Structures are given as C-alpha cells and as structure tokens.
Amino acid sequence: MYKLTIALMTFNRLGNALQVIDVVSKLIKTRSDINFLIVAEKVDDPNTWERLNALQQTHWFELIDGKGKGFSGAFFSSIIYSNSEYCLHLSDEDSIYPAALDDLIKSLDISNPDLFVCNYEINKSPSKPIKYRSNNSGIILFSDIFSLYHNPGMIWKISSSKKIFDLYYKTWAERFPQLLLYYPHLLLALHLMPNKKSFFYNKTISYQMRFDQNQHSLSRNRKYSHFSSRILQYFEIEDCLLFLKNDTTLNERHTRFYKNSLRYLHKIFFMYVITHFSSSNMNRDINYTHGFVSYLLPYFFFRKNFFRIKNFFAKLFYLLQK
C-alpha cells in the first residue's frame, strides 16, 4: 500500500489538468510511496476523459469516473478508490511543492492523524505568494470550524474517512444537502475532529497557481460562497452539530465536543452574519438590502428567539424607508 495518494479532481479544464499531470507524473516516477489518481467526468466532459484515457499509455495514473456527481462525488471517489493510507486533493488550478513531501511523509508517520490541514498559498506572483491559510502546528479545536472551509491542502486518512462515509453519507444527503454539495470535507472533518487526531501542519504542500472561471452553475447571488448560501451553510452546520450531539452511538467525549462547538457557533452568529453580509455585493444593492432586513434578519432572529432585536430592526428599516 502507498503512503499517500495525490488525487486530481478536474472538470472542463483540460489544459489545467495536463499541467498538473505533467508535474505529478514526473514526481511519482522517483517515489515508491506516492500514488496518483484522477477523477474526471466521462459523460459530462468527454473531451477531457478521452484525452486522459489515452494519456494513460505514457503516464502512470488511475482514472476514475466522477459520474456527474460534481465536487462532492469527486471528493469521496478519490478517498474511496485511493490505494494508500492518506489522500491529498488537488484541483486543476493547483500545483504541488515536491520538496515538501519528504517532511510530510515523516510527519504523517509520527502523528498518525485522521486529518492534516496544511498551509495553503495563492501564487499569482511566484515572488510574493499570498498566504490563504497559515497555521500554527497543533490540534484542531472546535473553534477552528471556519478554518476548514477550503479543502485544498487537507490530507485525509483513508480508513477513518471511509468509515465515516459508510456510516453517515445517507444522512448527509437527506439532512445537509448544501454542505454535501459544496463542503463535503467540512462534514467529514466535523466527524473526525473529536478524536483529537486532527492537526494543523505548519508547512505548505500545495498552492493555487492557475485562475479560471468557476465551473459551478450559478444563479444571481446564489454562488456557493455568496451571502445567502453562507447563511444556509451556517444553519446546516448548526443542524449537523445538533444531530451529532444527540447521536447515542457516540461517546461522552464526542458529545462534549459537539456541545462546545454549538456554544461557539451561537456565540459568533452575529459576527458571521455581519462579516459575510459586508463582504457581499448585497450591502451595496438597495433591493437586496431591503430583502435582507425585511426577511432574512427576522428569520435569523425568530430562529434564535431574539424577538426584541427583530422588532428593533423592523422598526428601524421602516423609519429609514420614510
């Protein structure tokens, strides 16, 4: 069995995929501990699939069909079909630092983690990379939930991840569709974190070096990172934590972890709302601001039972409209 699988997930960006494949293929020729797997779309992106299928004659990698299940399907397929102890995902916009892999392998041997969250960079200028995620090495706490939104740079233990996937995937699909669609790694991390074997790793393994148009099908203001989607994600995270807190199959340590996570989530609720509202285009659009104050905020407050605050904002908005 290999120690690490590097899993490339690609869709409709053949040029990008070929650049990643060239780098990783050269890398694995010099190593016996690293495997290479690619998840592409046979039906939805046949041009890429046919090219990669032919490329297997000269480059060593395993090609897996994502079967039209999007990022979530590619994410789980790469874990399920990885013939290794750990899996590192690359998007077709990413590249890798080969020189960092020796230390990574040693650290995996020493720590035996369920999850390793590495540093991650955006490399628009090779001389001045932007630190997208910069960690201090150490255990991942319940208050680090929102440091796990970004999957690139995360390394997953296959055995632990497969076990969680088998037990909970059906529940995720039924109860947390927004998270499963865009942030399946966050769902998986919430299950692994209470084991106290999930760590931040203060080194950069992969980085973004290509910047292309997003491939998600979007409607106005419903991009997965837009304000309304972020709020839906917040409530699904809350619902997931409530579900796990009440899961009688889990031990006391897990239950305590989820209780603490819920307290933290409720504590930062308004900061979370304000942060994502201020960073969206909604705060500059009177139509969306009207809808935000008239409908979304009262919904938040009803849910949290903050009736007096809801009424205050309703009256304030009424006065501003005069």
Q: What band does 273 get if pLDDT is binned at 50, 70 and 90?
A: confident
How many Cβ atoms are within 10 Å of 205's Cβ, its own excluded?
Answer: 26
Written as one string, the DSSP assignment of 283-298 is GG-HHHHHHIIIIIHH
Residue length, the chain? 322
Segment 242-265 shows an average pLDDT of 94
User: E strands within 13-114?
Assistant: 34-40, 62-65, 84-91, 94-96
How high is the pLDDT of residue 40? 96
Give the whole-angstrom CA distance, residue 270 versus residue 291: 18
Distances (CA, A) of 181 to 168, 262, 287, 309: 15, 22, 28, 33
Segment 164-187 shows an average pLDDT of 95
Pairing of strands 130-133, 62-65: unpaired
C-alpha torsion angle, residues 84, 86, 89, 95 (rounded to 10): -90
Pairing of strands 115-122, 154-157: antiparallel
| Mean model confidence pLDDT for the chain | 85
- The angle that helices 184-192 and 70-80 make with each other, rounded to 10 degrees, is 50
2-208: which CATH number, 3.20.20.150, 2.60.40.1120, 3.90.550.10, 3.40.47.10? 3.90.550.10
Ranges of CATH 3.90.550.10 domains, the chain: 2-208
Query: Is 102 or 274 the better-scoring residue by pLDDT?
Result: 102
- Which tens digits make up the pLDDT trace of 234-249? 889 999 999 999 999 9
pLDDT at 321 over 70: no
Lowest-pLDDT range, 207-211, 263-267, 275-279?
A: 275-279
pLDDT at 217 over 50: no
How high is the pLDDT of residue 289? 45
Tell me which range, 149-163, 262-276, 302-316, is most confidently predicted by mean pLDDT.
149-163
What is the value of pTM for the model shown?
A: 0.83
